Structure 1
């Protein structure tokens, strides 16, 4: 293959440009840059002069389509909208906000991790809340669709929590007198818990799904414990998972075990394991003997996985995450047994970690010297 041939990088076809094509591209880019600078200068002048009309609103649209990270222009756009709200009909203002939501949807498809787009969408929705024109169920559908496109988008998950919180409030406001508030909240949050399960099973390396799950577990358990008559669609979830914190722990440890064996390098799996083994919500439900038994079982699983990983390594080295987790669990065991957390085997593991994970050498040295906690 010659230098002028097409190549592929990350599955995307890349074509080397000729000198003439490069020159023409630079000319086009220079023109775009000059236009962007002129538009920016014009808008800053308009803002300084407190010009807050429809013309300025349209100009912010132009620049934000070019650069949605330009947070000053989002601020200016909101200033313009607030001023316009004073002088136009309510229905006209609602229409402007809805058109903004459509624009934001188009931008999110192209820039799904731009904080300022998500932030402006929240602002628009609260404007509609004031006018009693917001549709949270539609917004729930929007964020669900966006998470289908990128199930690991942190901003999308954060936004989903925001929408769910507002659906909860809205549902409680609209509830009939005979309906139970707890049951309404249970249904919403149990569905969210099941949603995290679906996303995790599709892709175990989904830190945001694991994180959302950790927030939901105490809430769902609380609602289950407060409901006297569990609806039939939720009975299976209650029986298999939410009867007790102990059962939840056992259930999710099994889920984590699958993740550890599927991808032992996945950070999210190990961090969720650490949360499960140290969260007071679970520990206070266990006797010391049961807790120690669970810790020892997890240690055995991780040590077994580590041996499998060592067999696959050309130098027969310990697997970094396995070894860190062995240290983590051993320290928990020693603390329960009132033994020295910095025992000889822990020190040996930390010295091995210095070799296989040299980027964190200083951290392991501090742990060896007892300057920082291993947990």
Structure 2
């Protein structure tokens, strides 16, 4: 899909077809013998590693071959590792080192020929983990520094860089590099992904793994707590707000350079969407044993978010059921007069990793508030009070969204027949609508009216399901 096929298509002569058929039969015969050896565990070849290496070169994507090879390798690792631990044998160390290096070299040669083989990348992961175990063993006996560590992970990052220079969108390599970063800190993923983006603004693989890096790096509980201290309320965002703005400038530059590239808009949309706050906008229904709260967006995992009081007496919450953007809270039945509902953001309140999550499970920015409900013969009225610092933070996010909307409008002026900026604008207006509901519900009609106008423009240049979907979404308001 991006100019890098898994294998080249060739037109073959009759002679070449015949030769390939003969080679195929040889491979089938070899596989038959291999599976016989593998199953019976008798009459093993004298050199099991040489035998499995031959089979791997013949059939590089058959997992059973690598399972067999790993069994042989593990036996050798255990034997040599035991010798090294018992006697600190230089000879055992050299044999271990040679065994590991030759295996990594073999996999590298095979990956050069088959860069998108699941089995090869899985086998390389196994080798990295075994190398780490052997490094741990060496560390434990290396009081005199007579043995050097293998440090396989460092060379793996170099391998990934070289392979991504050949094919920058090989998702096997990206997945492998992402796995490496999960078990080590050598990769400098921030710098690496930025470099790949600057080399090619159309490299959506780099955008995708950059977003995964940000979410993994910034959403650790200790990072969140530190951000709250240094950045006040905006520290609750999945990305620090200053960092978010820097990243937005990078992607805006990419949109200017590649305005017809879908990937840059997706990453821009992720950046704008990941900071959306969510909170209660109104009370829908109250009875003697339940209340329905409406949020500005769909929510999940809000079971531990609420406290309810009736005349200052705490009520026992029996159940919290979520239906889209509504949370139906059932409590012990009694005659209710005046209710108070406290809505907690658990990160803000307790610094807890167990937090309420939004629909995309990335934004943790729940707006805590207190809702006072007064009940009388005519029904009920409510007031929703939010702390000033959260109001200010919501305004900052609203301003950020507005700035991005203005930017996309400028792109539309230059790209009047390009559907991507129109679609982007409609999604950004959706984010703005959600945020506006938290600020002032009465002014949302202006956003809806503008969105419908852009829907009509989009339908003129793009008559397909996405244009219709966006039009249907905005028409429901």
TM-score by length of 1: 0.70
- Verify the 8 A CA contact 2:429 2:447 in the aligned structure 1: no
**Which residue is equivalent to 1:3?**
none
2:198 to 180, 197, 201: 201
2:168 to 136, 151, 170: 151
**Which residue is equivalent to 1:213?**
210
- Verify the 8 A CA contact 1:68 1:117 in the aligned structure 2: yes
**Which residue is equivalent to 1:111?**
114
Q: How big is the shift at 1:146?
A: 2.6
CA separation of 1:57/1:349 partners in 2, compared to 1, >3 Å: closer, same or farther? farther
Secondary structure, counterpart of 1:69 in structure 2 = coil
Mapped partners of 2:54, 2:396: distance in 1: 62
Structure 1 gap ranges (5+): 1-8, 169-187, 228-243, 311-316
- Verify the 8 A CA contact 1:196 1:212 in the aligned structure 2: yes
- Verify the 8 A CA contact 1:101 1:124 in the aligned structure 2: yes
1:275 to 262, 270, 275: 270
Mapped partners of 2:116, 2:432: distance in 1: 41
Q: How big is the shift at 1:332?
A: 1.3
What RMSD in Å do the two structures reach over aligned CA positions?
3.8
**Which residue is equivalent to 1:184?**
none
The reply on whether 1:68 has 2:60 as its aligned counterpart is yes
Q: Note the alpha carbon deviations across 1:213-259, whole angstroms, 9 max, x for none.
A: 324446369769969xxxxxxxxxxxxxxxx9222122111111111
Q: How big is the shift at 1:324?
A: 1.3
Q: Which has the higher contact order (CA 8 A, sep 6+)?
A: 2
- Verify the 8 A CA contact 2:45 2:51 in the aligned structure 1: no
| Higher alpha-carbon deviation: 148-157 or 218-227 | 218-227
The reply on whether 1:326 has 2:451 as its aligned counterpart is no
The reply on whether 1:141 has 2:143 as its aligned counterpart is no
Q: How big is the shift at 1:349?
A: 4.5
- Verify the 8 A CA contact 1:57 1:80 in the aligned structure 2: yes
CA separation of 1:59/1:251 partners in 2, compared to 1, >3 Å: closer, same or farther? same
- Verify the 8 A CA contact 1:277 1:295 in the aligned structure 2: yes
Mapped partners of 1:56, 1:320: distance in 2: 59
TM-score by length of 2: 0.56
- Verify the 8 A CA contact 1:60 1:77 in the aligned structure 2: yes
Secondary structure, counterpart of 1:287 in structure 2 = helix
CA separation of 1:58/1:337 partners in 2, compared to 1, >3 Å: closer, same or farther? same
Determine which structure has more spread, i.e. the larger CA radius of gyration.
2
CA separation of 1:225/1:343 partners in 2, compared to 1, >3 Å: closer, same or farther? closer
Q: How big is the shift at 1:72?
A: 2.6
**Which residue is equivalent to 2:381?**
none
Secondary structure, counterpart of 2:119 in structure 1 = helix
Mapped partners of 1:54, 1:161: distance in 2: 39
Mapped partners of 1:111, 1:42: distance in 2: 24
Q: Note the alpha carbon deviations across 1:14-49, whole angstroms, 9 max, x for none.
A: 9x97xxx81221121111111111111111111111
| Number of equivalenced pairs | 314
CA separation of 1:246/1:354 partners in 2, compared to 1, >3 Å: closer, same or farther? same
CA separation of 1:355/1:147 partners in 2, compared to 1, >3 Å: closer, same or farther? same
CA separation of 1:49/1:225 partners in 2, compared to 1, >3 Å: closer, same or farther? same
Mapped partners of 1:109, 1:355: distance in 2: 48
CA separation of 1:85/1:201 partners in 2, compared to 1, >3 Å: closer, same or farther? closer
More strand by share: 2
**Which residue is equivalent to 1:296?**
402
